Structure 1
Amino acid sequence: MPQQPPSDRRNQIIAELQSDLAHAHRIIQQQHEQINQLKEQLQTKTRLQRDSQFVNQEISNSQPSSHSAIPPNKTLIRGRKRVFSSKKSASKLTLLQFTSLVAVIVALMTGIGFALMRRQNSSPSEQTKTQSQAVPTVPKPQASISPTTALTVPSLPPIKSPPQILPSQIALVNSELVYNPQTAPNFQKSPALQSIVDEIVSLAISKGLPKKPLSITLIDTKNGGTYGAYQQDAPRFPASVVKMFWMVYLYAQIKNRILNEADFTPQLNEMIKRSDNNAASDIIDAMTKTESGKNLDEKDYESWLKNRKTINVFFQNAGYKKININQKTYPITDKKIYEPQGFDLKMRGDPKNPIRNKITTQQAARLLYEIYEGQAISSDYSQRMFTWLSIDSATRIEKRERQNPDEFNPVRGYFSESLPEDVNFGGKAGWTSTSRQEAAYIQTKDGKAAYILVVFAEDRAYASDKKIFPEMSRLVFERMTK
């Protein structure tokens, strides 16, 4: 991989720092909530101490003059003393936790201040270059994007929530946006690639996994877009893979000056890099002028629904037939929305057979192909999207051994876990308790092999199996690099 110029590396470091700052803001908000909880616990401690003093006084007053006479309720009184004693110890522990928490917040604020000071102390010319020339010269639309191209994302301002949508104030979204490629690429089926896909299916069967809920698309981007597939036209639930479609629709609005890219850089970082549902919700609200969790008038539902469907219309008009991607991913924790409600619930229809997001592996593979070929929206915006999707080798090495169940990990249990460290990799993974999905672009360091692999598996057996996707990926890599 060619070495980045010092200026590009400096800009990349600044962008990473600002991304970390945005994440730190969220952590601090969470710490504030914990502080409030600890304050309540301290107030409880004060009340307990007052009660303890009162009980001790009662005990003292109730002691008989003769030590030989034991009052009948002495055992009860001793029990009450033990209860207050244990509560007092718990309160001391809470105080220690509070002190530790304050220390953590002070450290965070110090780090933020240091990062901001470094940013402010950079020379005026460097600041101008970072803000106005964050993206270097990009290839022409007909040229594919090189994964080795040095690219820095725009600066990350603090995350802002989109304006609230008030009842009876839903304006219709511009539904005339046009996606660049109006028809799907004319991929030719390859017996060699089909043989590889058949091997993937056989691998799943050999592991005792069902093949009916499985869909696969494999595209060789080095040989004019030849492909192999298994049930690639079956619509399936995409989980968080849908977020790369939302990213493309967002850049369509940015290109047409409907939205400003700088306002959404933090949300893009959270939605794509961290697969954050809160950021994804903000992006959908802004793109469609809709909002979740509000008690809107029933007469506003048709306008609300039409706005949401503009995401579908945008891709359907470009040949993404029957695609449905207008429903949010849950939970949305910052709004305390843990499942669809209000209009979001109503649009799902019959609760026994709800309408859900549906994408085929062919559609996910096509979108990745158009991004990496510089065709999605425009060449420069395709390169920006390529950067968001990329997962560098250092990140892959770091996340390969992480096992935190509360952290989104696009490596462990997915394609890149089993690949060599020097491959160029980009994509989006998804997971639910009943499914596992991934769409990825893989290119060898020497550029001799480049392909797109998409696998959707809608079954609990795949959701709980963290080895099958890495094994599938390794099989494909070995065959494609022969």
Structure 2
Amino acid sequence: MAFYRPDPDMAARLETSLDALDADGRPGLRNSLAITWVRYADAAPEAGQGSGASWNQDRILYPASVVKLFYAVAVEQWLQRDLIPDGDELQRAVRDMIADSSNDATGLVVDLLTGTTSGPALHGDRWELWTQQRRLINAWLKSLAWPELEAVNCCQKTWGDGPYGREKIFYGADNSNRNGLSTVATARMLEAVMTGAVVSPPACRRLQGLLQRSLDQQQRRADPENQVDGFLGEGLPEEAQLWSKAGWMSQARHDAAWFKAPDQQPPTLLVVFTTGPDRARDASLLPELARQLSQFTSSEERVN
């Protein structure tokens, strides 16, 4: 059971969009993509009030930098429980992790959340303790008792060149222990942040501030790694409001976005994961999908 109500009109629109995008030089698109799409009737909805449609939304995929959303929420949870001390360096790291998608900042955040550090191989009890500590974020996610989170894995740092030493060993044979998320798990977490339904409302407002993206063309040109161009935000009007976290590497291009149209209409939640080198290089797929789905109106809306 999804956290939103299935909407047949939205499902039909999503099918039409995928057909068109597949025909536009992307054969087999459905095999390399997962989507969760939710729309709300209220301008300030509560969690669970949306209607939606999906494709492959339960498929666990490598999330790239989208996992940083989960780590940012975990920081607020740890602070709320007095499990870690607050400070300028922690706040700087969380800001850089979300706003700039810094992998170095993410490394510090994961170290603080789990009480671990990178380095050479460990053995015996020291290794067992290290791996147990590294799974603390997964244990917290399990404690939320959200069915969407049952199969996720959020225990690894994010890398530029890849893990070394104990980090490489912890990845497991054939990277079997690498991070894994689904679009529905990501959508539920982003909805919870945007509706104040996880950690405290003030903490959610802080997270929202970090996730907000400028659609101003001049600001985007000044920041080539703006997490808008080549992602869902590029397909939205410049006057729209956007909160998002993107992920991009050689085998993936993902985005998780919450956005409002310029006229302050109710928000839309859209999470798209794409996999494979062709999709990773495709800078027009996510913007076009956002453009098409953001223009959707239901049959009920057309009547009204």
TM more than 0.5: yes
**CA distances 1:243-302 after superposition (whole Å, capped 9, x unpaired):** 000001111001111223333111111100000000000000011011112454443111
Q: CA RMSD in A?
A: 2.0
Q: Which has the higher contact order (CA 8 A, sep 6+)?
A: 2
Residue in 2 that maps onto 1:214 = 33
Mapping for residues 186-265 of structure 1, pairs under 5 Å: 186-209=3-26, 210-222=29-41, 224-263=49-88, 264-265=90-91
Q: Is 1:321–2:142 an aligned residue pair? A: no
Amino acid at match of 1:216: I
**CA distances 1:361-396 after superposition (whole Å, capped 9, x unpaired):** 0011101111111111011101111110001343x5
Call closer, same or farther: CA 1:261–1:422 in 2, change over 3 Å: farther
Amino acid at match of 2:219: E
2:3–2:188 CA contact under 8 A, matched in 1: no
1:222–1:451 CA contact under 8 A, matched in 2: no
Residue in 1 that maps onto 2:132 = 306
3-state SS in 1 of match to 2:62 = coil
Structure with higher strand content:
2
Looking at structure 2, the residues matched to 195 and 260 of structure 1 have their Cα atoms a distance apart, in angstroms, of 49
3-state SS in 2 of match to 1:290 = coil
Amino acid at match of 2:109: I
TM-score normalised by length of structure 1: 0.57
Amino acid at match of 1:289: G
Residue in 2 that maps onto 1:458 = 275
Looking at structure 1, the residues matched to 205 and 99 of structure 2 have their Cα atoms a distance apart, in angstroms, of 16
Give unmatched runs, 5+ long, in structure 1: 1-183, 332-337
TM-score normalised by length of structure 2: 0.88
Amino acid at match of 1:232: Q
Amino acid at match of 1:239: A
Cα offset for 1:415?
Answer: 1.2
Amino acid at match of 2:81: N
2:98–2:210 CA contact under 8 A, matched in 1: yes
Q: How many residues align?
A: 287
1:204–1:211 CA contact under 8 A, matched in 2: no
Cα offset for 1:344?
Answer: 1.4
Q: What percentage of residue pairs aligned between the two structures are identical?
A: 26
Looking at structure 2, the residues matched to 193 and 456 of structure 1 have their Cα atoms a distance apart, in angstroms, of 18
1:185–1:366 CA contact under 8 A, matched in 2: no
Out of 158, 162, 174, the position equivalent to 1:339 is 162
Cα offset for 1:317?
Answer: 2.5
Amino acid at match of 2:184: Q
Amino acid at match of 1:213: S
Looking at structure 1, the residues matched to 267 and 290 of structure 2 have their Cα atoms a distance apart, in angstroms, of 13
**CA distances 1:24-82 after superposition (whole Å, capped 9, x unpaired):** xxxxxxxxxxxxxxxxxxxxxxxxxxxxxxxxxxxxxxxxxxxxxxxxxxxxxxxxxxx
3-state SS in 2 of match to 1:431 = strand
Looking at structure 2, the residues matched to 360 and 292 of structure 1 have their Cα atoms a distance apart, in angstroms, of 27
Residue in 1 that maps onto 2:46 = none
Mapping for residues 57-206 of structure 1, pairs under 5 Å: 186-206=3-23
Looking at structure 1, the residues matched to 40 and 185 of structure 2 have their Cα atoms a distance apart, in angstroms, of 15
2:240–2:261 CA contact under 8 A, matched in 1: yes
Cα offset for 1:409?
Answer: 3.0
Looking at structure 2, the residues matched to 217 and 282 of structure 1 have their Cα atoms a distance apart, in angstroms, of 30
2:32–2:279 CA contact under 8 A, matched in 1: no
